[in-house]
Structure 1
Amino acid sequence: MRAPDAGQHRLEWPRVVATTHGPVRGAHRHGIDVFHAVPYAATPTGRARFAAPAPPESWTRVRDASIPRPSMAPAPTRDRIGDLDLTAISGPPWRPGDHQDYLAVDVWAPAAVPERRPVVVFVHGGGFIGGWGGAAAYDGTSLARHGLIVVTVNYRLGAAGWLHLPDAPDNRGLLDVLAALSWVRENIEEFGGDPGRVTVLGQSAGATIVAALLAMPAAKGLFQRAISQSGNALGAFTPAQAEKVTEALATAAGVEATADGFAAVGDRDLIRVVSELGGLDLTIGGVPDPMLGLSPFAPVLDPASIPTQPAESITSGMDLLAGVTTDEANLYLVPTGRDGDAEAMSRALFGLGTAALARANTALGGRTFRYEFAWRSGAFGGALGAAHTVELPFVFGTAHLPSLRGPRSLLGIADDLEQVTAAVQRAWVGFIRDGDPGWPPNDPAIRRLGVRLPVQRMAG
């Protein structure tokens, strides 16, 4: 065997795995096998950007999946909110031609384990406009060292994934995640995973997608447990709200408000017109905008996928870990200097929908574990607090990343990151492995995690 090259990634003992579409070669890094950008669906181009996902073309030669490479869905750059550095969770800027095969997964697996391991599938956030499953903060190495198979998923973003069109299926980004879960069911055993012990985990937009999956008959049996971190199970647009976005975007792009019309608009131009879209008043017929103007996209109520709000559509309960951070809205207010009622904004965006999902799951016989993440970041002089997304580095064990540390970075300057990581991972791994995060199910008291400083609890 050739000695490993010196450098950022130590490669040794590469493993080849036969997937249903072709063989892939990963990298072995310090006891963990890693596979990057493995396609689960064909890359949608042209008119196909607005179609349901299709299987990827099969291959026969071994595909090199050993080195991280750009695989981001077309999206605007969202590496900052105001003065806050978010590069660790945003990924690199999207550039045409760089990001091939973006409907793909990354997989981390403990090497040479004798028994099949529990699986966690992560669906990233980003307001349905941005995000990338391969971002540095979502590195699955730490969770894999706890004996889990970790899968991170990319899905279509922006107009390609979520624009409501009369001649295309709704919620194409959701259909992508459904296709990725089907890929996991068919392939994860080859990576050492147990297809009967799959937990789907989503944060923010990803958690809203998880709630929608709970309501979809087509998703039944693809996973056995779910984790919702700061999602909104009451966050789908009505058709009228979605149509208003479609009309505004079609006018801005100078095309008909159809998939055939938008097919003529390239990815770069589509991103531009979405980014230039002014604030739309999406409160229609007394129904408020569930995104509060932060994004023109959300899942759309649709008889074929989400007939009513996800919290009102689920038909059976399961093991569910669901929670929020104490100061969710601070992410949008503090770094930008915006004024606003942070508590009301937090409740509307995340608190009410999370509470509704928890109640629905419990009422249907599911075991529900609720939490509130209360660790306060010291960023912006301590004003950022327990803001939206702040729990993610602790879940993944990536709080040590330099881009997360500093006075204008997500975690600020702190000396208790290892202790908080250990406590959070103990709860998340216990839930994924055994359905036990460390406290009783269906407890009226919400478990507060990561407490370091006194905080005012957000009502749910």
Structure 2
Amino acid sequence: MDRPSTLDRRGLLIGAGAAAALLTPRLALAATAPVVQTTAGQVRGASADGVSVFKGLRYGADTGGERRFMPPMAPEPWSGVQDALAYGAASPQTGKGEEGETFSEDCLFLNVWTPAKPVKTGLADGGKRPVMVYIHGGAYNTGSGSSPWYDGTRLAKRGDVVVVTVNHRLNAFGYLYLPRLFNDPAVADSGNVGQMDLVLALQWVRDNIAAFGGDPGKVMLFGQSGGGAKIATLMAMPSAKGLFHRAATMSGQQVTVGGPFNATRRAQLFLDKLGVRDLAQLRALPADQMLAGLKAVDPVAGAGGVYMGPVLDERSLTRHPFFPDAAAQSLDVPMMVGNTHDETRGFVGWDPKVFDMSWEQVVAKLPGQFNARIDIDPATVVDEYRRIYPAYSPADVYFAASTAGRSWKAAILQAEERAKAGAPAYVYQLDWRSPKDGGIWGAPHTLDIGLVFGTLDARGSIVGTGPDSVAMSNQMSDAFIAFARTGNPNCAAIPAWEPYTLPRRQTLVFNTPSALVDDPRGAERELFNKVPFTQFGT
């Protein structure tokens, strides 16, 4: 997990004019629209091309008003049939969000795609399909489950799986730690209510997904960037134990969470930025005004907006996810840990001018990427990269070193802690290059999302729709589907994938073709092992 990137998900679509077979199907509300009974009431979805879709399913009550900063509650039951045809509101956040998206504190909604065949009682056809629950990225600050990149139609149909995406509270609404500032039991959990929302969503899945043709005993979490970090955090939350049975983190790690003292400093600066002095005043503040507090300068990083993320509050979270070791409660959960080879090429926009760097500029710019994570002399880093990769340009070194120091090191730590505990993860590295601009962006942050979902032609996609893109997508989709079904990603689409063990560090390098490699980028790993890694926000 990283701070919000400047990656433009609404950029140019690669490969316009793709075959009609690749186009996302439009949903039609037919006379036989599927109706499903949930624990709160009946819901009506829509069907197209063999997949039934339910959007905006309420899994929790409104979190606004007097419920702000408090743990989520189950929704009130309703009578009649509610239409589930449009995405629900996303948590209040900065930025525009998805096209047509609304923001509200009433944001506890999820979406379901299922290939289950209609029966008299709805969609409970006895299929016992694996359930793939995707948790969106955007650090802990932005995003929602309604991105066209996360449309579950193709994945559900290809794998005969049920796909779920989730909205939950973000930024200050989900992670503002107030207990040390206000002696009020109503805010005792405020630093982690965004995570508690996800637990409630998983409880909804446990209690309802069989009615949609899914198996509540075979639930896989997968998420990219901040979504992966949220999953790693859930792996250490006692309330989440038993609610999921496989976990995949994609370019998103959470080795340690924030501590209560730094979280309190951040909360105080947030309040100071708003000019708020008491809890009643904070609770009464309109949501859009409250977002202004996020502009406070982070006291740990010394720059940027104030960080919001999970907190070691000794209530819902009583230990760090992967420090001092991998949380014991989740060692029986098969895990996949992945990163892209060129993460930070996705953080700089799509202007080719970023490649025009001198060696001096690389030395000057690297500390801004390392920030509080890696405290190492940038000139030493550049010299070592020039030795390891003599053909690299200054820009190549900048992106490789910033990727390794910013996020890749945390993925290695997660994998190594699992290996030490005898519960190794399946580790991947995506080397396949986006075809955008002739491949100059390499394998940037977010590239694996479209490959796994098969949303190659979604608005803003950088995956492409050509034969090579389809072949790469089929590999990754099939591996994730196999992992959801069995807890093991091995399938006919990829070479034999061994779990990550020490000292070999087996890693599946996704490409066309893919290959299992021992300790890829081992020299880079050893370089950054000279200094400790600090999770941002800790």
For normalisation by structure 1, the TM-score amounts to 0.85
For the pair shown, the structure with the greater C-alpha radius of gyration is: 2
Distance change in 2, residues 1:234/1:100 (3 Å): closer
After superposition, residues 238-257 of structure 1 pair within 5 angstroms as 238-256=259-277
Q: CA deviation at 1:403?
A: 2.7
**Aligned match of 1:4:** none
Alignment equivalent of 1:40, drawn from 59, 64, 69: 59
Whether the aligned pair in 2 keeps the contact of 1:204 and 1:229 (CA below 8 Å) is yes
Distance change in 2, residues 1:397/1:295 (3 Å): farther
Secondary structure of 1:387's match? coil
Q: CA deviation at 1:411?
A: 3.6
- Listed one character per residue, the Cα deviations across residues 198-219 of structure 1 (whole Å, up to 9, x for unaligned) are 1111211111111111111211
Secondary structure of 2:205's match? helix
Alignment equivalent of 2:468, drawn from 416, 429, 440: 416
Alignment equivalent of 1:204, drawn from 210, 225, 235: 225
**Aligned match of 1:28:** 47
1:310 is the counterpart of 2:331: no
1:434 is the counterpart of 2:486: yes
Q: CA deviation at 1:158?
A: 1.2
Whether the aligned pair in 2 keeps the contact of 1:226 and 1:320 (CA below 8 Å) is yes
For residues 152 and 69 of structure 1, the distance between their equivalents in structure 2, rounded to whole angstroms, comes to 10
For residues 34 and 463 of structure 2, the distance between their equivalents in structure 1, rounded to whole angstroms, comes to 35
1:301 is the counterpart of 2:298: no
Whether the aligned pair in 1 keeps the contact of 2:273 and 2:292 (CA below 8 Å) is no
Letter in 2 for 1:303: E
Alignment equivalent of 1:115, drawn from 127, 133, 146: 127
Alignment equivalent of 1:265, drawn from 276, 285, 289: 285
1:332 is the counterpart of 2:347: yes
Distance change in 2, residues 1:402/1:131 (3 Å): closer
Secondary structure of 2:56's match? strand
Whether the aligned pair in 1 keeps the contact of 2:236 and 2:317 (CA below 8 Å) is yes
For residues 38 and 248 of structure 1, the distance between their equivalents in structure 2, rounded to whole angstroms, comes to 36
Whether the aligned pair in 1 keeps the contact of 2:39 and 2:208 (CA below 8 Å) is yes
For residues 278 and 412 of structure 1, the distance between their equivalents in structure 2, rounded to whole angstroms, comes to 39
Q: Which moved more, 1:382-391 or 1:185-194?
A: 382-391
Whether the aligned pair in 2 keeps the contact of 1:379 and 1:413 (CA below 8 Å) is no
After superposition, residues 136-215 of structure 1 pair within 5 angstroms as 136-145=148-157, 146-166=159-179, 167=184, 168=187, 169=189, 170-215=191-236
Whether the aligned pair in 2 keeps the contact of 1:378 and 1:414 (CA below 8 Å) is no
**Aligned match of 1:11:** 29
For residues 94 and 33 of structure 1, the distance between their equivalents in structure 2, rounded to whole angstroms, comes to 22
**How many residue pairs get matched?**
424
Secondary structure of 2:68's match? helix
Q: CA deviation at 1:442?
A: 3.0
Where relative contact order (Cα < 8 A, 6+ residues apart) is larger, the structure is 2
**Aligned match of 1:354:** 411
**Aligned match of 1:379:** 436
1:280 is the counterpart of 2:280: no
Distance change in 2, residues 1:16/1:215 (3 Å): same
CA RMSD of superposed structures (Å) = 2.6
- Listed one character per residue, the Cα deviations across residues 88-124 of structure 1 (whole Å, up to 9, x for unaligned) are xx5236546xx58420110011131542111111110
Q: CA deviation at 1:457?
A: 4.5
Whether the aligned pair in 1 keeps the contact of 2:296 and 2:306 (CA below 8 Å) is no
For residues 194 and 247 of structure 1, the distance between their equivalents in structure 2, rounded to whole angstroms, comes to 44
**Aligned match of 2:107:** 102
**Aligned match of 1:216:** 237
For residues 295 and 351 of structure 1, the distance between their equivalents in structure 2, rounded to whole angstroms, comes to 23
Letter in 2 for 1:314: A
Q: Which moved more, 1:182-191 or 1:110-119?
A: 110-119
**Aligned match of 2:532:** none
**Aligned match of 1:91:** 98
Letter in 2 for 1:310: P
Q: Which moved more, 1:243-252 or 1:354-363?
A: 354-363
For residues 259 and 348 of structure 1, the distance between their equivalents in structure 2, rounded to whole angstroms, comes to 39
Whether the aligned pair in 1 keeps the contact of 2:149 and 2:459 (CA below 8 Å) is no
Secondary structure of 2:57's match? strand
Structure 1 residue runs without a partner (length 5+): 1-6, 79-89, 284-288, 405-409
Q: CA deviation at 1:358?
A: 1.8
For residues 176 and 208 of structure 1, the distance between their equivalents in structure 2, rounded to whole angstroms, comes to 15
**Aligned match of 1:3:** none
Secondary structure of 2:506's match? coil
- Listed one character per residue, the Cα deviations across residues 412-453 of structure 1 (whole Å, up to 9, x for unaligned) are 786522111111111111111112212122352211113589
Secondary structure of 1:52's match? coil
Structure 2 residue runs without a partner (length 5+): 1-24, 118-124, 355-364, 367-397, 491-496, 515-519, 526-538
Identical pairs, percent:
33
